[in-house]
Amino acid sequence: MITHVKFITVPVQDQERALDFYTEKLGFTVITDQPFDGAQRWIELRVPKAETRVVLFTSDANRDRIGTFMDAVFATDDVPAAYETLKARGVEFDGPPEEQPWGTYVMMRDSEGNRFCLSESKG
């Protein structure tokens, strides 16, 4: 029945700043960028090699979620290498990668202060 997660929505204060972050620093590509209402655009991004998309949009009900922890985890095959590459591009991290019994991870922040986990794609 359910085949995949279509998209996650990331609450953002400044859509243009967030768009630059997700395309220039994380390497996502724009699928859709069109007017939504008088105040925002519907910006939908593709994550490389994934079906799940990221939408940079904030409903009025979710404005208080901007800059908080996101219940979404981005995956990579090599956390330390991704950490070094993204750090060099200006991505902020809460600290260096950590190894746990279940795998290696690191916490990162987007341009809006939202916190995401970057974890191994293994397993």
Q: Is residue 21 part of a domain?
A: yes
pLDDT score, position 123: 59
| Structural domains counted in the chain | 1
3-state secondary structure of 32: strand
Are the CB atoms for 104 and 7 separated by under 8 Å? no
How far apart CA 93 and CA 95 sit, in angstroms, is 5
Q: Is residue 77 part of a domain?
A: yes
Are the CB atoms for 58 and 66 separated by under 8 Å? yes
How far apart CA 12 and CA 59 sit, in angstroms, is 10
Are the CB atoms for 107 and 93 separated by under 8 Å? yes
Q: Is residue 90 part of a domain?
A: yes
pLDDT score, position 114: 97
Q: Is residue 2 part of a domain?
A: no
Q: Is residue 84 part of a domain?
A: yes
Give the CATH number for residue 23.
3.10.180.10
Burial class (CB in 10 A: 0-12, 13-18, 19+), 51: exposed
Tens of each residue's pLDDT in the chain, 123 residues:
888 899 999 999 999 999 999 999 999 999 999 999 888 999 999 999 999 999 999 999 999 999 999 999 999 999 999 999 999 999 999 999 999 998 999 999 999 999 999 999 875
Q: Is residue 1 part of a domain?
A: no
Interacting residues of 36 by C-beta distance below 8 A, sequence separation 6+: 42, 57
Q: Is residue 110 part of a domain?
A: yes
Host domain of residue 30: 7-120
**pTM of the predicted structure, to 2 decimals:** 0.92
Q: Which of 81, 70, 79, 52 is nearest to 116 (CA)?
A: 70
Q: Which of 52, 58, 59, 48 is nearest to 23 (CA)?
A: 48
Q: Is residue 73 part of a domain?
A: yes
